[in-house]
Structure 1
Amino acid sequence: MAIEYKRLTQKELDFFIQMRIHQLREEGAKEEIDLAPALKDYYERHMADGTFVSWIAVDGESIIATSGMSFVEKPPYFECPSGRIGLLSSMFTDPAYRRRGIAKELLSRVIEDAKEYGCGTIQITASDMGVKLYTDFGFVHNGNFMQYKL
């Protein structure tokens, strides 16, 4: 069966959330809280107001890969005069479907959405597995990225 690419809708949201949790665990997350309600609240609110978009890849009835882009705005700066930034997340492909160009296709689609939204830059905290995909696509490392946990 051919792989189909489509926008995430409310209908696929519960399965999308389960894939996101699986992804976080695969990337080493150890927290044992039930993250599903918070994810559902986030995705429902931000899909409704247009500040979260996602493309999924489907094989038959199964979602086999996901992508996500959250749009945020901060004061404009020289490298991003619009102040609009795309935060890439939820890039995950079922292990049985990896290395077939599916993630690259999903990435292309959410980047187009970011361009349409007016984003001047896209950021991601890449997993070790994802670094090659993003580097090949043209992403560059920002050595000054830091985080402060509250």
Structure 2
Amino acid sequence: MDISYKKLTDTELDCFINMRITQLTEEYTSTGRTVPEGVDLKAALYDYYNRHMADGTFVSWLAMDGDKIIGTSGMSFVEKPPYFTCTTGKLGLLSSMYTDPYYRRKGIAKELLHRVVEEARAYGCGAVHITASDMGVKLYTAYGFKHNGNFMQYSL
């Protein structure tokens, strides 16, 4: 196993999107839910990644075993009015953290997480947010993420 790391480019986008859909499906079905019929995220994901990679508001690091992508990460950058604990108002939204099951528990996700957190720091973010899967909570807690009991969501 010869693991290396690189930033996502257009060349890897097809594989990255397929892995993102695998990740979302794994997380969604692990809670006993069934993926809704007829939902095809590919076009929407292509649109999102193409726009936000081009304008610099999305970055991803990949873990590679030779030419094979074995792990993914993603960080979207958003801005809101500054507040006391984030005086820049710039936030990193962590997503797309996924490691091929064969490669799990080898430190790959930790390295990917570190790389995208450093991207957020370089962008000027004052905080990074994530909605963690049950599987990811240990990784994020060990890295230093804290639970925010005030987080709520309203679906439209």
**TM-score after normalising by structure 2:** 0.95
Distance 2:104 2:81 in 1: 38
Match of 2:36 in 1: 31
Match of 2:130 in 1: 124
Match of 2:7 in 1: 7
How big is the alpha-carbon RMSD for the aligned residues of Structure 1 and Structure 2?
0.7
1:72-116: CA deviation from partner (whole Å, max 9, x where unpaired): 000000000000000000000000000000000000000110000
Matched, 1:22 2:22: yes
**TM-score after normalising by structure 1:** 0.98
Identity of aligned residues (%): 71
Distance 2:51 2:28 in 1: 27
Distance 2:119 2:54 in 1: 15
Matched, 1:50 2:56: yes
Match of 2:92 in 1: 86
Q: Which runs of 5+ in 2 are unaligned?
A: 30-34
Moved over 4 A (4+): none
Q: Which runs of 5+ in 1 are unaligned?
A: none
Secondary structure in structure 1 of the residue aligned to 2:6: strand
Distance 1:65 1:17 in 2: 12
Distance 2:77 2:36 in 1: 26
Match of 1:99 in 2: 105
The alignment covers a number of residue pairs equal to 150
